[in-house]
Structure 1
């Protein structure tokens, strides 16, 4: 893979499995029962993304290369735990892609303004 490549879901899931294979003797098993823990780890990483935004702000993220690198690295941590979760629940790239497109198409038809106005308060 070159530095200018775009990852796809299959590659990301494979990277997740490769890393787990390397550390499987020390890390949690690749089973659904451990999936919720990885969602919690992912949420923790989302908190770190939020911390960068709060502490450094949007301008620093967009214009300071060191801050931007840290911000993107934290986003990568989020994605890595997300891929670990998908692997633990044996979600295939095809299954994920099909559901993603279906949800996207549903969202494209939604009227968010109307939906939120009709929500009970």
Structure 2
């Protein structure tokens, strides 16, 4: 079974960048927003599979599942490209993720969303 770490993904993206650095935008912050936009485009492709094939097809149809996983991988690749362009390390994003998870575990989502929509 493959289980990849964030640091591995970042290194893989660096390797891919090195292979194409003559034609790809530099690993600089001013290009980070473009990679977020491209990530959103890939999320749209994931949504398209859901809309066209349905949720169950992703679970039950091997070809649909493979296509969906490929699009989700594209999302992760652009996510990692964004981290690289903003100089965010695997340790930083991991710590932030853990902290956010701890915060979310203490949240009362029902109460928050109820009050959020009652104010409108």
Please give the TM-score of this superposition, normalised by the length of structure 2: 0.97
Aligned match of 1:33: 30
Task: Structure 2: state its 5+ residue gaps.
Answer: none
Alignment of 1:41-80 (within 5 A): 41-80=38-77
Residue 36 of structure 1: CA displacement?
A: 0.1
Aligned match of 2:98: 101
Equivalent residues, number: 118
Residue 59 of structure 1: CA displacement?
A: 1.3
What secondary structure is seen at the aligned counterpart in 2 of 1:27? Answer: coil
What secondary structure is seen at the aligned counterpart in 1 of 2:54? Answer: helix
Listed one character per residue, the Cα deviations across residues 23-72 of structure 1 (whole Å, up to 9, x for unaligned) are 00010111000000000000000000000000000111111100100000
For residues 71 and 82 of structure 2, the distance between their equivalents in structure 1, rounded to whole angstroms, comes to: 17
Partner residue of 1:10 out of 7, 15, 31:
7
1:19 and 2:8 are equivalent in the alignment: no
For residues 21 and 73 of structure 2, the distance between their equivalents in structure 1, rounded to whole angstroms, comes to: 21
Partner residue of 1:113 out of 107, 110, 119:
110
Residue 11 of structure 1: CA displacement?
A: 0.1
Please give the TM-score of this superposition, normalised by the length of structure 1: 0.96
